[in-house]
């Protein structure tokens, strides 16, 4: 089974990225599935307008994934821009894409509501995403619930192409981990860069401590019993801690005499236990930029081999 996932280098990765997407990818990698992971720097251009910023962010994403568990011996990792065939396929798909299909996409409407500029790139984002997926003939695509509609667009476009030109593309399925609920940010809303409520994977430890200790809570006094379910600190803690530790915190909240400050300190300790080894690995990788570039170039070579095989069939089908 071939599994493909992508990540935009549009900002620092945070806890929500790790538990919402990265960890499930590493779990699939461990099962021996055929994995592709691309850094979607073309997609990021819809919001990132400085070349130096995009280059640095692309490098940071690669370092973060490699530090947290991506194994280039098991997963083909590459920059989207290193596979130009994707853009070629995006044009062919664009010629079959109804405007109404794109106009109904939630993500575009949401970004307009948040003040993003209404560009063609932002509007046509689902077509490029479809090209990313279809060119690798992916079977499964790990996505968040907010991206599920884009995968449905991918399936629609694959079916339209197949109806017009013959059976070229398989229809990929979404993989949405059921065990991961919405990950709360420091203000209790969904953790998202758009809401400015994230905690970065590798921020300065002092900054992480400040954010954790500043997580918004209610005014229930320490001595009073508290319901852990729905509590942001508890919901974050259960991502990092063992089942036994989670049960212990839940019992402490319900018994009373356990304050939010104590829970925040436990959350911070659990974060460091998991991420301190990742941080050390990242620092080691960052000291050898040539080795990082070699990994990305080797991944691009393998990705282009797969993309070229697909495009040979596509070009013949469309008459080129």
Give the model confidence (pLDDT) of 6-48 as tens digits.
Answer: 999 988 999 999 998 898 889 889 988 899 999 999 999 988 9
Q: 202-283 has which CATH code?
A: 1.10.240.10
What integer is the mean pLDDT of 80-86? 98
* Cβ contacts of 189 within 8 Å, gap of 6 or more: 195, 197
Matching CATH topology for 2-181+289-318 and 202-283? no
What integer is the mean pLDDT of 70-98? 97
Compute the distance between CA of residue 20 and CA of residue 30 in angstroms, rounded to an integer.
Answer: 17
Q: What is residue 316's predicted lDDT score, i.e. its pLDDT?
A: 98
pTM recorded for the entire structure: 0.91
End-to-end CA distance of the chain: 30
Q: Is the pLDDT of residue 168 over 70?
A: yes
Give the domain ranges of the chain: 2-181+289-318, 202-283
> Which candidate, 29, 32, 50, places its Cα nearest to that of 41?
50
Alpha-carbon separation of residue 223 from 32, 220, 256 (angstroms): 49, 8, 5
What integer is the mean pLDDT of 166-172? 96
- Per-residue pLDDT of 228-243, as tens digits, reads 999 999 999 999 999 9
Which residues are annotated as catalytic? 111, 190, 193
| DSSP code per residue over 220-241 | --TTS----TT-HHHHHHHHHS
What integer is the mean pLDDT of 301-308? 98
Q: Is the pLDDT of residue 177 over 70?
A: no
Cβ density class 253-268: b for 16+ within 10 Å, e for less: beeeebbbeebbebbb
Q: Is residue 258 within 8 Å of 231, Cβ to Cβ?
A: no
Percent of the chain exceeding pLDDT 90 equals 79
Q: What is residue 195's predicted lDDT score, i.e. its pLDDT?
A: 85
Average per-residue pLDDT for the chain: 93
* Cβ contacts of 141 within 8 Å, gap of 6 or more: 3, 4, 5, 133, 151, 154, 172, 173, 174, 175
The secondary structure of the chain in percent helix, strand, coil, rounded to multiples of 5, reads 60, 10, 30
Q: What is residue 269's predicted lDDT score, i.e. its pLDDT?
A: 98
Q: Is the pLDDT of residue 205 over 70?
A: yes
Phi, psi of 256 (to 5 degrees): 90, 165
Q: 2-181+289-318 has which CATH code?
A: 3.40.50.620
């Amino acid at each position: 089974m071939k599994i493909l996932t992508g990540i935009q280098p549009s900002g620092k990765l945070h806890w929500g990225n790790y538990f919402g997407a990265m960890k499930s990818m590493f779990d699939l990698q461990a099962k021996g599935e055929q994995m592709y992971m691309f850094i979607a720097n073309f997609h990021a251009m819809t919001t990132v307008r400085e070349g130096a910023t995009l280059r640095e962010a692309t490098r940071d994403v690669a370092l973060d994934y490699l530090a947290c568990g991506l194994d280039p011996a098991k997963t083909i990792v590459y920059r989207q821009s290193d596979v130009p065939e994707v853009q070629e396929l995006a044009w062919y798909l664009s010629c079959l894409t109804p405007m109404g299909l794109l106009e109904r996409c939630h993500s575009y409407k949401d970004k307009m509501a948040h003040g993003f500029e209404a560009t063609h790139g932002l509007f046509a984002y689902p077509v490029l995403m479809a090209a990313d997926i279809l060119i690798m003939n992916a079977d499964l695509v790990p996505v968040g619930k907010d991206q599920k509609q884009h995968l449905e667009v991918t399936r629609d476009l694959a079916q339209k192409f197949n109806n017009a030109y013959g059976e070229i593309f398989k229809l990929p399925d979404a993989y949405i981990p059921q065990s991961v609920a919405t990950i709360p940010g420091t203000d209790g809303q969904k953790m998202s860069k758009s809401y400015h409520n994230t905690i970065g994977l590798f921020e300065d430890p002092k900054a992480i401590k400040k954010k954790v200790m500043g997580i918004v809570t209610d005014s229930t006094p320490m001595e009073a019993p508290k319901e852990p379910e729905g509590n942001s600190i508890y919901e974050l803690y259960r991502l990092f801690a063992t089942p036994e530790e989670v049960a212990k915190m839940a019992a402490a909240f319900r018994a009373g005499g356990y304050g939010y400050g104590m829970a925040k300190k436990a959350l911070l300790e659990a974060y460091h236990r998991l991420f301190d080894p990742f941080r050390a690995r990242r620092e080691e990788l960052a000291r050898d930029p040539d080795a990082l570039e070699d990994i990305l170039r080797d991944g691009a070579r393998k990705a282009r081999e797969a993309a070229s095989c697909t495009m040979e069939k596509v070009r013949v089908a469309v008459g080129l």
